[in-house]
Structure 1
Amino acid sequence: MMTVIDAFVAKVIELGDYTEQDALYLFNRILALVGEVSGNPDSQSKPLIDLKEDLLDLAVANGKVGALLEERDSLGAELMNFITPIPSKVNENFWETYEQSPEKAIADFYALSQRNDYIKLVAISKNIAFKTPSKYGDLEITINLSKPEKDPKAIAAAKLMKSSSYPKCQLCMENEGYQGRLDHPARANHRIIRLPLGDEEWGFQYSPYAYFNEHSIVLNTQHVPMVISQKTFEQLLDIVDLLPGYFVGSNADLPIVGGSILIHNHYQAGRHVFPMEVAETVKSFTFKGFERIEAGIVNWPMSVLRLTADSKADLVALAEQIRLAWRDYSDSKAEIIAYTGDTPHHTITPIARRKNGRFQLDLVLRDNHTSPEHPDGIYHPHADVQHIKKENIGLIEVMGLAILPPRLKDELLEVEKYLLNQYNEIADYHKNWADQLKDEHPEVSPENVQEIVYQAVGHTFARVLEDAGVYKNQADFMRFVESIGIVEV
């Protein structure tokens, strides 16, 4: 009778580079990892990833691996490594295909990253996602349930481990093939495409817990900190040439307004049209010396300058001029402060794309200074909306896709019960908001309560973005634009 190992081996031969001659070898290597197994008539029809989970259950039962999620993931990645070509082969396949069709090379690498369970499709499917209409267009909301929360046992065990600085962070090249440990994710099935950017070598990989279609990361092969500079604009525009159909953007490089990993320079890319991309320009102008570039302010809650041109070099030059101007720009009327002593407060979140054959850069102005009234940041979600979102507003959210914490899944159910006057355990920090919803929606019923709460969450996210927007009106924004120099109409 076929065992789960036999079924897994058959799938590995079907999907990977092994042949039937390798069947016994594969069986024995997997047997060594998971332990003895009996026949299972249901195994033959199962998908590869389901078979992998069965093997993990077997390994736990046989004492070959611990039951903690991190321990299972480490063995799971090792099992999926059997269908994953070695890095040199993955790169060779990518670039050979790229010469004929860049689109197919990208599609093949994406398919591999899903097939070998590096992209956690099962986990991602647990996310709650919906859209909310706003005056800026439809905003996208995701309650992130894909990343499992740490088991207290794993946290305690990790504290007892000898500390390690290898790899230095989760974006380092050294993650490729890394076995993983309780405090660092397993990466045995991880592969990175080497990507030339100017005179530097970068890496191109997919995100294990994707927030949008083909969510990928382009990372510096050296462990160097995030920085926004002229080279950033050059590299972003080169990437949209190298990866057709993809947008690419960078988190800002300062605390509060920056991303979660400021210690390793990287960009995020993918094949997704974000709400900000379809937002229209509400005020157009031309910068002096850059008459071939279309420029304007975008109808968006954050402060966005959009530049569109045929020439990458022109865009880079103007973007750098704007970055340098914003770095040192202060305006007391608009509560804009460039420095506190020698501490800088201004930077940019840049996003690049191809649009109708032309190059386009969106430059989002960021300011991270604080005040006694707003100790978390004047341009950070204010206290009255932090019951929904208190984390930094990074690149993805800047573009109109909210990544909300998993706590909201259960908390919003309690809000729904509160609105329906049912017994509930609503969190105190949601109560004022819930009372307001009660007043606004006397028509609430069991049939519509979830939609009412979800749309209210979306409206709160619009407020979050407004809080993060540096300019609250066009007149103040135009003072900065005019300081750079525009052609008078």
Structure 2
Amino acid sequence: MMVYLLIEQLISQVISAGLIKERDRIYCRNQILGLLNMESFEEPVLTKTDKTIPQLLTKIVEYAITQKVITRALDDRDQLKAQIMNVFLPSPSAVNDQFNSLYQQDPIKATDFFYHFSQTSHYIQTERIAKNIHFQSDTDYGKIDITINLSKPEKDPLQIKREREMKQTSHYPTCLLCSENEGYVGRIGHPARSNHRMIDLNLLGEDWYFQYSPYLYYHEHSIVLCKEHQPMVISKTTFARLFAFVKQFPHYFIGSNADLPIVGGSILSHDHYQAGQYTFGMTDAKDAYQFKLDDYPMIDASVLNWPMSVIRLRAQDTDQLVEAGGKILAKWREYSDPDVDLVAFTDKTPHNTITPIAQFRNGRYQLDLVLRNNRTSSEHPEGIFHPHQDVHHIKKENIGLIEVMGLAVLPPRLKDELKDLKHYLLGEADQIEAYHQPWANEIKLEYKQLTRDNIDQVIEQELSNKFIKVLKDSGIFKDNSRGWQAFKRFTSSLNK
């Protein structure tokens, strides 16, 4: 039977990737046979294959569906894939031991090992991530990354039906980030995590974990999460934790989503950060102006030339950066400026917070503080400092840490809609989605010559320009004379 060959080829590929050794073949084979409800095995003629581990997994899962071992539902397929890969994996403690051994040699060796391990183990969904559309564009503010997110699989009708019919009785794991996810088989509506491993971290004497994101948005996209299920809070302690991480992994940046709805991330119930080894557009942003912090003369402070409102602090001493960051945060929490619609409180409801990013760069520690406000109004019910209606055809979701730094994560519908826009602009189609019509009209006015040779570049550039508008909407102090005057009022207030 073909399935015997697929199993042996999978084991061979896993051996080549370094997860197991040839001595483990029979043990792993028998474990997989058990998962497939197979009681016997016939040795195939083992032939080499150019299929990847994910491709072989998919073939084996298709066999399991035909034999009614599992249904075709997305959760069933993902659970079986994760369980099969878990056959090849060491225990969490063994992974940690290897990571720590390599860390003693070099932190980069440790993260390189764990990154490769997380890809080979199929926890990082490499074949799904490869479907994403990604490009870069130059703008007035520097580089912008655009990603159309196609990596998360669409739920099939059976999966949707099962989720609708399911009565949620389990609250374990508490959330998608909690440590109980490590090794969790999964259930309807909760993803499979049999092949999930995490690295133990100590941040300021607290227990945290380090893992990679299953759906990478950038190189070595990782998540640092608190062992305790506690809500996200931005505080001076947050800044200290970020630098505690950077000191352990100086080749990584680390940042946090804000801690309020609208301007925060998707999971505010569990304190966590995002890290990685990537240079975003904001990372290379130039200073718009510099200013002094009288209480911290050893810190170089500046405001960035970036569509969102960012203060950058640079120094050799992280303690000084933490103290200065704490002072700026405390000031910002209470700060209002009606001239630019900035109001800190509605009654006792707070609106101001910060998205922080820490890293070690060019021989100094750096703390970026992105000023945020989540107030709404009748004109902007989704948020005054949130993508406005005229850009919702591109992006209307929260602007979190990744977008703040200059990487757009755009909805999958745009893949087909941009193709339709291309045909429309070339005169090969009569209509497009109504919400894209004003944008199409703008492009036609801007470009007199639209041809097959330049249309893709034009659409990519205009999509990037739209994302810049998304960030400008989300920025507190706008890039105009009124906005810069207001920003300078705030930075001046830090010395009072």
TM category (shorter chain) comes to over 0.9
Aligned to 1:148: 153
Answer yes or no: is 1:175 the counterpart of 2:181. Answer: yes
Rounded to whole Å, the distance in 1 between the matches of 2:31 and 2:338 is 68
What are the superposed Cα offsets for residues 159-181 of structure 1, whole Å, 9 maximum, x if unpaired?
22231211111111011001112
Check whether the contact 2:54–2:127 (CA below 8 A) recurs between aligned residues.
Answer: no
Aligned to 2:443: 437
Aligned to 1:33: 35
Answer yes or no: is 1:93 the counterpart of 2:98. Answer: yes
Rounded to whole Å, the distance in 1 between the matches of 2:175 and 2:114 is 23
SS at match of 1:364: strand
Deviation of residue 27 (structure 1)? 2.0
Deviation of residue 46 (structure 1)? 3.5
Rounded to whole Å, the distance in 2 between the matches of 1:21 and 1:401 is 45
Aligned to 1:409: 415
Which deviates more, 416-425 or 33-42? 33-42
| Aligned partner of 1:475 among 475, 478, 485 | 485
Rounded to whole Å, the distance in 1 between the matches of 2:343 and 2:104 is 49
TM-score of the pair, normalised by structure 1 = 0.96
- In the alignment, structure 1 segments of 5+ residues that lack a partner are none
Check whether the contact 2:72–2:158 (CA below 8 A) recurs between aligned residues.
Answer: no
Which deviates more, 434-443 or 196-205? 434-443
Let me know the Cα RMSD of the aligned residues: 1.7
Check whether the contact 1:350–1:361 (CA below 8 A) recurs between aligned residues.
Answer: yes
Deviation of residue 421 (structure 1)? 1.8
TM-score of the pair, normalised by structure 2 = 0.94
Check whether the contact 1:84–1:112 (CA below 8 A) recurs between aligned residues.
Answer: no
What are the superposed Cα offsets for residues 34-76 of structure 1, whole Å, 9 maximum, x if unpaired?
2557757656554333222221111111111111222111100
Which deviates more, 8-17 or 454-463? 8-17
Aligned to 1:342: 348
SS at match of 2:359: strand
Check whether the contact 1:283–1:298 (CA below 8 A) recurs between aligned residues.
Answer: yes
Name the amino acid aligned to 1:23. R
Rounded to whole Å, the distance in 2 between the matches of 1:80 and 1:424 is 49
Check whether the contact 2:137–2:464 (CA below 8 A) recurs between aligned residues.
Answer: yes
Rounded to whole Å, the distance in 1 between the matches of 2:233 and 2:206 is 15
Answer yes or no: is 1:107 the counterpart of 2:150. Answer: no
Deviation of residue 442 (structure 1)? 2.0
Superposition pairs of residues 29-428 of structure 1, within 5 angstroms? 29-35=31-37, 39=44, 44-163=49-168, 164-428=170-434
Rounded to whole Å, the distance in 2 between the matches of 1:85 and 1:481 is 52
What are the superposed Cα offsets for residues 90-115 of structure 1, whole Å, 9 maximum, x if unpaired?
01111111112111011101110011
What are the superposed Cα offsets for residues 234-261 of structure 1, whole Å, 9 maximum, x if unpaired?
0111111111210000000001100111
Rounded to whole Å, the distance in 2 between the matches of 1:120 and 1:436 is 38
Check whether the contact 2:263–2:398 (CA below 8 A) recurs between aligned residues.
Answer: yes
SS at match of 2:437: helix
Name the amino acid aligned to 1:476. A
Check whether the contact 1:35–1:58 (CA below 8 A) recurs between aligned residues.
Answer: no
Name the amino acid aligned to 1:68. A
Name the amino acid aligned to 1:480. F
Rounded to whole Å, the distance in 2 between the matches of 1:444 and 1:197 is 54
- In the alignment, structure 2 segments of 5+ residues that lack a partner are none
Deviation of residue 471 (structure 1)? 0.4
Rounded to whole Å, the distance in 1 between the matches of 2:25 and 2:196 is 24
Rounded to whole Å, the distance in 1 between the matches of 2:173 and 2:435 is 39
- How many residues align? The count is 486
Rounded to whole Å, the distance in 2 between the matches of 1:300 and 1:156 is 45
Rounded to whole Å, the distance in 2 between the matches of 1:32 and 1:389 is 46
SS at match of 1:133: strand
Rounded to whole Å, the distance in 2 between the matches of 1:272 and 1:183 is 32
Check whether the contact 1:16–1:85 (CA below 8 A) recurs between aligned residues.
Answer: no
Deviation of residue 15 (structure 1)? 4.4
What are the superposed Cα offsets for residues 326-357 of structure 1, whole Å, 9 maximum, x if unpaired?
00011111211000000000000000010122
Deviation of residue 19 (structure 1)? 4.7
Q: Percent identity?
A: 49
Cα 1:94/1:383, change in 2 over 3 Å: same
Check whether the contact 2:9–2:46 (CA below 8 A) recurs between aligned residues.
Answer: no
SS at match of 1:182: coil
Deviation of residue 82 (structure 1)? 2.0
Aligned to 1:485: 495
What are the superposed Cα offsets for residues 195-250 of structure 1, whole Å, 9 maximum, x if unpaired?
00012110000001000000000000111111001110001111111112100000
Deviation of residue 151 (structure 1)? 2.2
Rounded to whole Å, the distance in 1 between the matches of 2:88 and 2:18 is 4
Which deviates more, 2-11 or 408-417? 2-11
Answer yes or no: is 1:453 the counterpart of 2:425. Answer: no
Aligned to 2:12: 10
Aligned to 1:24: 26
Cα 1:264/1:234, change in 2 over 3 Å: same
Which deviates more, 206-215 or 330-339? 330-339
SS at match of 2:114: helix
Deviation of residue 425 (structure 1)? 4.8
Name the amino acid aligned to 1:111. H
What are the superposed Cα offsets for residues 126-163 of structure 1, whole Å, 9 maximum, x if unpaired?
11111222110121111111111222321220122231
